[in-house]
Structure 1
Amino acid sequence: MQIFSRGKINPEIAHFKGENYMEILANNQQYDHGVANVTFMPGSRTDWHAHHFDQVLLILSGRGWLQIQDQPTQLLQAGDSVAIPADVWHWHGATDDSEFVHIAVGADPNPSATEWGNPVDLV
């Protein structure tokens, strides 16, 4: 069951592998934080990146991966939440066999507040 609209193709598509969508639920012009529903189709994921703000991911459905630099990859699933501190390099995305939907909450949804790095190399 999908709670929020899947939205449109993610505007940062150049920094993602595979098909993913984003629906802005609240932005900084209205509130203190940006809030977005992000849907990753199976196998899709972000490139390595760091936000210049703290970010919280609230997992709504499916299974996905999160890896913080120099740490092992962790499996996330519905009901999990994770806080990623500002300026910490990480990536996240869906497992190969599951859609992955999360709410991303951050202090600044402005794309320039995210620094993008290399694509993720999975073995």
Structure 2
Amino acid sequence: MATYTEKEIAAMGFVPAQQEYFTGKAWLKNYVFPDDKTDAYIGEVLFEPGTRNNWHTHGSNQILLVREGICYYQEEGKPVQKIKAGDFVNIMPGIKHWHGASPDEVMIHTAIGINAEKGLVNWMEPVTDKEYNEG
């Protein structure tokens, strides 16, 4: 079970994520931003144990590649899935969902947002403890 100090996380190139979109502490490392040549976003998110993002949707597909830990992932109206390191999920446009770390360990995923002109993310309400704990 990996844990990291804030100094180690910063040394890996991560910066704090916008807190209003997360319950717990998350960190971002951005690689590709949409521009006039590349219509995609690619970055990594490090979720400290128990951290999850708010419910949200995307205008186009979002692909999550789990690098480390176990990713809790849930689409609205469906049970929580546990996606292990080395696996991925391809989230269809407009699907309301959330993702985050298991209660006991750090989770890192690479997030790929394609067709960015359709919008990267539409943030919604926080995931409740009850919703998270159903995982």
Fold-level similarity (TM above 0.5): yes
The runs of at least 4 consecutive aligned structure 1 residues that moved more than 6 Å come to: none
Q: Deviations over 1:59-91 (max 9, x none)?
A: 000112000111110001101110001111000
1:26-105 pair list within 5 angstroms: 26-29=32-35, 31-105=38-112
Identity of aligned residues (%): 29
**1:16 corresponding residue in structure 2:** 22
More strand by share: 1
In structure 2, the gaps of 5 or more residues are 3-7, 131-135
Q: Normalising by the residue count of structure 2, what TM-score does the alignment of the two structures yield?
A: 0.80
**2:5 corresponding residue in structure 1:** none
Of residues 53-62 and 21-30 in structure 1, the stretch that sits farther from structure 2 once superposed is 21-30
More helix by share: 2
RMSD between aligned residues: 2.3
Matched-pair contact (CA < 8 Å) for 1:37–1:102: yes
In structure 1, the gaps of 5 or more residues are none
Q: How many residues were matched structurally? A: 120
Q: Normalising by the residue count of structure 1, what TM-score does the alignment of the two structures yield?
A: 0.88
